[in-house]
Amino acid sequence: MINTREIVLDCIIEILEKKQYSHQVIKQVLDKYAYLDKRERSFIKRTVEGTIERCIELDYVLNLYSKVPVSKMKPVIRSILRMGVYQLLYMDGVPDSAVCNESVKLAAKRGFVNLKGFVNGVLRSVAKKKKEIPYPVREGNITAYLSITYSMRPWIVERWLASYGEAQTEEILAELLSERPLTIRIREDLAPAKKQELLEEMNRAGMEAEQTKELPYAYHIKGADRVESIPGFKEGKCFVQDAGSMAIIEAAEIKTGQTIIDVCAAPGGKALHAAEKLQNTGMVTARDVSEHKVLLMEENIKRSGLTNIRAQIQDALVLQEEEIEKADLVIADLPCSGLGVIGRKGDIKYRIEPADIEKIAGLQRRILSVVWQYVKPGGKLLYSTCTLTEEENHENTAWLCENFPFQLIKERTFLPGKDGTDGFYLAVLTKIS
């Protein structure tokens, strides 16, 4: 018989102890156990994601009620306690006694019989005192308060406070911990009747599709157990994509017949969206650095059925001289720190360090110093990221305009809690003739 808590434990160890990517681990596990009851799969997903995103708070609580600091615990015991405290604090449907008992059993099953009493004692202490946990107060140390309350690393909190102020920062932090809606893009070239049929099919499958405010083809989906279960997904009638990501392509104002190069395209969402905008004309060349990423794009292209898009292996740092001034639009959605999508990939905040920001911004500038050359005179460069740092966003755009023949047309930052999307930045620039 499958023990869902064991699955949760293995996932948490993989992500927090072995530093595997959370979205990949969770997808692999849900695919592997697709045969489980929907409620069991939901328990696995919620407990893993919740433990990851709330880990800073969970460790704070554990350090209050454990004689052994979290940092000194054995990895398996640390993981059992983290997932146990998450269930105690945030899963009202799970009885406290069940959390404690099942956690003790897990410890014994993983070879830590001698630590059963320790696990039991810590969790029962938390269960008993969970209504009176002494959290940091806002007055006097806003960083500590926001860090523990919203489980975000202090250095990130401080950066956002400096950029967005206290009220906006708290909105961002709260939104990143809220339930993230699954957003799909329904093909714009789908006939209205076919689109209505697709929406009705989703409804019959127990899914609720709600159109977003800004984009008529963007829908939030509720009730989808797996992406593959969404009607129309396998047939390429719809694609999973955040509304902010869609808005980035909208900002480019693509026209039919254009030649477009997407220099860091995987998994291909923006490139496919751009190809749709071309309405079976022009060509989108979607490039990325590895064979694995290109194969992923080719799968998505095949599913779409579009013929005006191709995928290529290409290092964006290497200039392709034959492509100089050949593109009407270059899409530079570049590698970034990813702080804007922490709500979907909670482990990002544990991976990125302050020193990484400068390195990543430097990499972005090296790529931009190459790919700007592909833009025709009068053509456009679309620069975008999924992060919320000045260095990777506004400062790089200003640098680009100062050092190369470009003029800024528009720029926008999408903020969680304000715009109903993940965190994104875009800048559209035109090449001066």
* Active site members: 386
Spatial separation of the C-alpha atoms in residues 149 and 131, rounded to whole Å: 14
Q: Could you write out the DSSP letters of every residue in 271-300?
A: HHHHHHHTTS-SEEEEEESSHHHHHHHHHH
The DSSP 8-state label assigned to residue 216 in this structure reads T
Q: Any alpha helices (H) in 111-253, and if so which ranges?
A: 116-129, 142-149, 154-177, 192-204, 243-251
* Pairing relationship of beta strands 182-186 and 218-222 according to DSSP bridges: antiparallel
Task: In whole angstroms, give the CA distance from residue 142 to residue 212.
Answer: 34
Give residue 160's region: left, alpha or beta (phi > 0; psi -120 to 50).
Answer: alpha
Contact 334, 386 (CB under 8 A): no
Q: How far apart are CA 8 and CA 29, in angstroms?
A: 9
